[in-house]
Amino acid sequence: MTPSSNAPLTDRPARSNNHPYIPSTDSERAEMLSAIGVDSLEDLIADIPPEHRHPRLNLAPGLSEQELAAEFSSIAAENSSSSNGYISFLGAGAYRHYIPSTVRSILQRGEFVTAYTPYQPEAAQGTLQVGFEFQTAVCQLTGMEVANAGMYDGPTAFAEACLMAARLTKRSKVGVISTSDTRLLETLVAYSKYQDVELVEVEPDAVEIPADLACVGIQNPNFFGQIEDVERLTKLAHENGALSVVHVNPTALGMFRSPGEFDVDIVTAEGQPLGVPLAFGGPYVGLFACKKSHVRQMPGRIIGRTTDTRGRIGYALTLQTREQHIRRERATSNICTSTQLIALMVAAFVATLGKQGMKDLANLCYQKAHYAAAAIDRLPGFTLGRAGNDDSNGSGATFFHEFVVRCPGSPGAINSALLKKKIIGGLDIFDRVDNGMLVCVTEASSKADIDRFVAALGEIGASQ
């Protein structure tokens, strides 16, 4: 049968996992209609007035699958992306990493693609085990004792963590380090604005904090890629009866000490760097882990492992404190949508790389970023700088795969010139650093790509 054929699929071969979509056959449709108790589709929709059943639509003529694929490819080619010949140095929360083929191979198995919320453990042991393995990987990466099965994304996980700290301490002020991504703060504002929670900005070098804070929220590496002193800030929080909430880049955990080693109370992260494609901004998955003593206030689903009456290992949801399971006013969270399929990507990615692979990945990101930073710093008119227009961040400063570049002209104009050379430059952060550009380099950036980027910056800078 050709892609554009209208012939009925009555004698179709058995379903195969190699096909992403196969419509129902005539016999299957008849079986479903019989179960409903009607003889035809027309009988099923008899209550809909005839004039509203098939409204006329102003649509273009139909295309075959081959023609439609070509049309979509033509439209996609208008984008400037790393998949159509551009090299990219844009990060700021969403990162381009190489994703091993094992991740997609596992992800596309039919058992996982059709899986959703595993409320019935007797029918969802595979999905539940994947979630449990995901939780285990999150605990191993973060050095924490317990983790949940995933949040919507990194910023919502961070917001939920701060609200969790307010519940645990029974305090209504939340401190956030000023070098954090503003999107973390914006999401926290959205989550807390109707819960009588006050937000307080804390400087990273602060030696004192308000005595009534519920927590100190720290992004590490911070928005500018720099490593914060998590140990000192955590001690400062604990000395004032507050909790330490740290939002991490999970890739960096392959190189730097885990938050658990600093006695951090709650850890969150954006899971996208761990095997999840950029995909125009989502869907992603938030990582969430904490100390075991706090587990009953942890939001989201938690999957536990147990044994049945025959001693066989089994998995089930446990400590279900979400609003779908208990009275809404007593719930720790109203998160509803399952992110289990995205969590599967993370579990498959981490399992594929293993402990040494995660270390190698982090080391490549670190070394390539420092190579790029040192080369850019040698360009006339370009310097490396911190937030707040402080130029003290030299090329040898501790940062992880992102760094701030002070440009000789407008970063927006420089990025426009870079696009003409098929290069996607860094993020324009003029609102936080004068003429600032946040550049990201990962293991996916080759030395040739970096050298091409640096050469292009030199040419454009000389013309400013």
Reported as a single tens digit per residue, the pLDDT across 428-463 is: 999 999 999 999 999 999 999 999 999 999 999 988
In this prediction, residues 415-430 reach a mean pLDDT of: 96
Q: Which residues contact 199 (CB under 8 A, 6 or more apart)?
A: 173, 174, 175, 176, 185, 188, 189, 192
281 band by pLDDT with thresholds 50, 70 and 90:
confident
Q: What is the dihedral of CA 19, 104, 116, 323, to 10 degrees?
A: -160
Query: Is the CB of residue 166 less than 8 Å from the CB of residue 172?
Result: yes
Q: What does the mean pLDDT of the chain come to?
A: 89
What residue ranges define each of the domains in the chain, with the CATH number in brackets? 87-98+354-462 (3.90.1150.10), 105-347 (3.40.640.10)
247 band by pLDDT with thresholds 50, 70 and 90:
very high
User: What is the per-residue pLDDT for 335?
Assistant: 83
Reported as a single tens digit per residue, the pLDDT across 313-355 is: 999 999 887 776 777 778 888 887 788 899 999 999 999 999 9
| Cα–Cα separations (whole angstroms), residue 345 to 102, 106, 271, 286 | 9, 8, 9, 12
Reported as a single tens digit per residue, the pLDDT across 35-44 is: 999 999 889 8
User: What is the per-residue pLDDT for 2?
Assistant: 35
User: What is the per-residue pLDDT for 20?
Assistant: 55
Question: Token pair 């914060």 is at which residue?
Answer: 228
In this prediction, residues 213-240 reach a mean pLDDT of: 97
Percentage with pLDDT > 70 across the chain:
91
Reported as a single tens digit per residue, the pLDDT across 381-396 is: 999 976 543 444 444 4
Residue 160 has pLDDT above 90, yes or no: yes
Residue 205 has pLDDT above 90, yes or no: yes
User: What is the per-residue pLDDT for 391?
Assistant: 41
* Side chain identity at residue 255, one-letter code: M
User: What is the per-residue pLDDT for 463?
Assistant: 86
